[in-house]
Structure 1
Amino acid sequence: MPIRSPRGRAAAYRGIWQWPLQSPARLVITVIVVVAVAGGVSFGVTSLAGRSPERGLLTGPESPSNPASSAPRLPGSPAVPLTPAPTALPPVPELEPKNLPLSQAPAAALSVAARWSAAWVRPPAGTTADEWLDGLRSTTTDEYLGVLSGVDPGNIPATRVTGEPRAVRVSPRSVQVEVPTDALTLLVLVVDTDTEGWRVAGYDRT
């Protein structure tokens, strides 16, 4: 028969709460039931948290949200894209040697070095700079002739050539020639100009 009065319901609730306390056995049973109910609730919440909010499926490598697993794959295609093989470079042709044997020095280059050195040494007193420069014009490149235009020939220490020219470095288009003088040794650079033949394009002192 249902309990209709508030006093009756209160008495019923009090009887329920006091039931576990009436004996140790009842208390143990109550604790076991409460722990079991709490474990079931926790398991249900964990299962719901592992589901995708959009599809209701577990997320991970097998879920449709993973682009790698959902991409279509042709039959027989590899699972991982293959790295393209490196392109082989064409063979490099052998370069021509920069230096040649000294015996291959052109005689014309040695002759130009000797004539230029004889015209370069300090001229006799009274010779002007323009006259000295004119003596070098036929054996000097136009570019280097402009550099020599600023030289005062009166300051040149050497007065004469004392020996024969000797090639010290030979290349296909240039020759370095040593020319001894009474004050120093000239290292003359003679180049092949194509249009005017061999001409002096610079010098150094040793």
Structure 2
Amino acid sequence: MPIRTNRGRAAVYRRLWGWPLRSPRHLMGTLIFLAILVTALGIVLPKVVGKPQAKASPPGPGTTTTSMTTTAPGVAAPVATSNLPTRLSTPLATPTPTTPNADALRVAKQWATAWVNHPDGMTSEQWLAQLKPFTTEEYLPVLATVAPENIPAKKVTGEPVAGTSYAKSVQVTIPTDGPKLAITVVSTNAGWRVADYDQAH
């Protein structure tokens, strides 16, 4: 029979609240029930209330990502990383052989003519002075160590022959009455100049 008065409801509530206190056995049972109820709610509620986080989609081909992290004061911040493609440096161009420059051949012959010109009594300074207009500044100190009296040639006996030729340098061979000269002529701000020489093989 339903309870229709407030007095009847109060009596029912008193009976329910007083039931655990009637005996230690009732109290123990009530505590166990509450513990089970709290545990069950702790497991079920997060699953019901919580929503799964959206899964991050991978970046498209035209997008870039940068990772950033915060650090505590006094701690060095990590370097930001990016998935941008690395730009490769352009490889150095290989010199392309060219037609020998006429001015380079002319300077090589003038230098060789000055090189074989060392009459008796000429000093090293005089010999070097006639080579200077056709020689690079860097190579003059090397020629200063050469003793003109030890040069085994007195005259040029033929025309210069170009070997390997590039836009900025030419290898030239010139015959003399002694050994053949292998001369390297380079292009400088002052024009074509001899940068090295040796005996041709």
TM-score range, shorter chain: 0.5 to 0.7
Cα distance, 1:75–1:192 mapped onto 2, change above 3 Å: same
Count of residues in correspondence between the two structures: 128
| Equivalent pair of 1:122/1:157 in contact (CA under 8 Å) | no
Q: Radius of gyration: which is bigger?
A: 1
Cα distance, 1:77–1:198 mapped onto 2, change above 3 Å: same
Shift of 1:201: 1.0
Paired position in structure 2 for 1:76: 55
The one-character-per-residue Cα deviations of 1:11-65 (angstroms, maximum 9, x if unpaired) are xxxxxxxxxxxxxxxxxxxxxxxxxxxxxxxxxxxxxxxxxxxxxxxxxxxxxxx
Query: Which of 97, 100, 105 in structure 2 is aligned with 1:100?
Result: 97
**Which letter does structure 2 place at the counterpart of 1:166?**
V
Cα distance, 1:73–1:121 mapped onto 2, change above 3 Å: farther
The one-character-per-residue Cα deviations of 1:166-187 (angstroms, maximum 9, x if unpaired) are 1101112111111111121111
Cα distance in 2 between the residues matched to 1:160 and 1:98: 34
Shift of 1:94: 7.7
Query: Which of 89, 106, 115 in structure 1 is aligned with 2:110?
Result: 115
Cα distance, 1:176–1:74 mapped onto 2, change above 3 Å: farther
Shift of 1:73: 7.1
Cα distance in 2 between the residues matched to 1:158 and 1:122: 8
Paired position in structure 2 for 1:198: 192
Cα distance in 1 between the residues matched to 2:129 and 2:144: 10
Query: Which of 160, 165, 175 in structure 2 is aligned with 1:165?
Result: 160
Shift of 1:92: 3.4
How much identity, in percent, do the aligned residues show? 42
Gaps spanning 5+ residues in structure 2: where? 1-50, 58-81
Cα distance, 1:90–1:147 mapped onto 2, change above 3 Å: closer
Tell me if 1:181 matches 2:176.
yes
**What is the TM-score of this pair, normalised by structure 1?**
0.55
Gaps spanning 5+ residues in structure 1: where? 1-71, 79-83
